Structure 1
Amino acid sequence: MATLDKVMDLQKGGKSETEISKQLQQEGISPSEINDAINQARIKNAVSPPEGQAPGMAANPAQPPEMQQSIMQAPAQDPNQMVAPEQQAPAVAGPVTQEMPAPMPAAEGQMQAPMPPAQEAPQDQYYQETPQAYSDQGYYAPQQTTDTETISEIAEQVFIEKFEEYKKKTGDVASFKNTIQDKVDDIDERLKRIEDNITKLQQAVIGKIGEFGEDAAAIHKDLDNLHGTVSKLMNPLVDNYQELKKLAGK
């Protein structure tokens, strides 16, 4: 299980960050990794708070569950605390009224008249202590507000996750670019070699055609020379043949 998952499970169990850090250090996890996991858990809780929790009230991991329970139970005890001083006040004033003589109702009324201030003193003390309870509650359960730094961390984490998903789908862009560039350069070199070969072949064909024309002209000249030579040889033979034919006819 990853460290972040462990931190999230321990926070769901109601443990504070100090308790989570101690427990994970006992398991052999480094403090830096624990701090990173706790920061990521804070970010996730700020983005998507757990179920059953108001959107504006993020869970305070540093507040122990016993303290939260005592704070939640504090308002329910207010009516009992308000009644308790009223019930105790007559018990204090009782012995005073019993010590006064019976035949003096006016004096007895005078002694009973200052009783309300004696009853109000515990109430004043109680009302003075009540804001302290709420101030303690506000101290132990402050509302966490999302500041600019948290928003930037959330945006950076979302960008990194999306970029990793993109890299998994498309692969490494730099290596892909280098591979394509190498292939394009290889194709360019091959095209240049092909162009050079075609040029050389064209020059060779033209040279052969020129040589063939020259050879044809030489052959034609040789044939003319041969025809002239044969003609020179045949004329005397024809003349001799005519003379022999005349002689044979005589």
Structure 2
Amino acid sequence: MNKKSKQYDTVWSADDPDQEEFLSETDVEEGHEQQWHSTEKAARRQGRTQQSLATLKAHRWLIDTSLLLVIIGLLSLLLLRRPQQSEWRQIGGDYTGQGPEFPARITKWNADESFVPPNATEWFSDTLLEKWNTMMPAGAALHSAEEVFSTTSMTHSLHCLFMMGRIFSALSGNISGVLPGDYFTHYMHCVDYLRQAVMCNGDMSMEPHLPTDGPDNGPLDGGWNGIHVCKDYSQVINYLDEQIVDGVRVVLPIDD
């Protein structure tokens, strides 16, 4: 029996105080070990974080430069996709974007009676017609009403102004017999057309009002005191001449 009993390990009793003390010490040691591992992991994480921050700080210039290059690249793409100033957004240009960007000129308007004579009969003279034709391209000509063609808004406006001057002069000078039968409809069409042309252009030039304003428009009217930003008219006429020769546009006579 003694020999057999030595083959078995000692079994602790649950009520044994020595066993309880031993187990308590073991739990404490395991708790300390777990706490040490947790502290070690936290220290490692903190170390990695600090190392990453140090790396970012060391290479911050490279990161900033890269971000700046990306922003510049995106802005360049936006600018390339944006319509150029010479396209349809140029005031007074064709909506298709065709045509050059005309140079601008600073211009002061002045009264000129050679274009608007006070004598009614002069509006039907060849001299005045030639004067107004100096503002038109050389290739202006009549075309059949059955043809499909494109005219130009600017020359249409000049035609309206010339015809309105003729109609007014004929009626005020009691020579209405020289007018076409549809002169009233023509006149009102031109009023409406020029109204929209003025609104489209939207000239924002300041016009100072002075007591010394000319007698043609009355004191404090200021019609001739403004300084305007205009297209170079000589360049406009040259371009229209080329367009007429190339068959792109048709310009009707100013007295049509």
TM-score, normalised via structure 2 length: 0.22
The structure in which a higher percent of residues are helix is 1
Whichever of the two has the greater Rg, that structure is 1
Higher relative contact order (CA 8 A, sep 6+): 2
